[in-house]
Chains A and B, each alone.
Chain A
């Protein structure tokens, strides 16, 4: 039990579909993150939320739209994705930013047909 839960674990979608990834943290943290892990590439930071406010958008295409309704929940809304968006998407949380360890969920494995 990592304290960070991601759903779904696996998702297959067509390029014209709209879907959402969900992340929930039970650790009382005030920062949440979305990462992308593509094959043979390092973990790539996508978005950072601190106190429910987006503080970093790492040049992510607009077809990825994050939402943080409260400090415990984080969503990643997906629409009109491309095949190169197939990857493992990881959510993480931390208490504070930069010098605090992050706690990761198990990830959502996304496949775009």
Chain B
């Protein structure tokens, strides 16, 4: 059974703090790793699609790294702002039309 785990499940940080969280996925049959941000009462929004081991992607204050050999990806947020409050989801793809999502990390940034 393929499993995708995210940690921590939730965290609270102060405005201005930097934070990071982890997505662990199977290290075999890797095709792509997706990150999404899901704000309350909105639809999930794509952040990154990562396909290469050692890949690092950046979008504003948010960046992500990928290690396919050991099966993990980190998402970093630099200088967190209240508008960063959301649930961050990762999804593992094995390239056979199968996406497996983690349960997400719920981030709350306190002003």
Which residues of A are interface residues toward B (Cβ below 8 A)?
Answer: 2, 4, 33, 40-45, 48, 50, 55-56, 58, 90, 92, 97-107
Q: Which residues of B contact A40 (CB under 8 A)?
A: 103
Docked Cα-Cα span, A101 to B93, in Å, equals 11
Specify which of A4, A43, A98 is in contact with B101 (CB 8 Å cutoff). Answer: A43
Interface centre among B43, B46, B95 (most CB of A within 10 A): B43
Per the 8 Å Cβ criterion, residues 28-66 of B in contact with A are: 31-32, 34, 36, 42-46, 49, 51
Which residues does B use to contact A, with CB under 8 Å?
4, 31-32, 34, 36, 42-46, 49, 51, 89, 91, 93, 95, 97-104
How far is B46's CA from A98's CA once the two chains are assembled, in angstroms?
Answer: 13
Q: Assess whether B43 is in contact with A98, with CB atoms less than 8 Å apart.
A: no
**When the two chains form their complex, are residues B98 and A56 in contact, meaning their CB atoms are under 8 A apart?**
yes
| 16 A-B contact pairs sorted by A residue (CB < 8 Å) | A4-B43, A42-B102, A42-B104, A43-B101, A45-B99, A58-B98, A90-B44, A92-B44, A98-B32, A99-B31, A100-B49, A101-B49, A102-B46, A104-B44, A105-B43, A106-B43
Name the A residues within 8 Å of B36 (CB-CB).
102
Q: How far does the Cβ of B102 sit from chain A's closest Cβ, in whole Å?
A: 6
Q: How far is the CA of A100 from the CA of B91 in the complex (A)?
A: 12
Minimum Cβ distance to chain B for residue A10 (Å)? 13
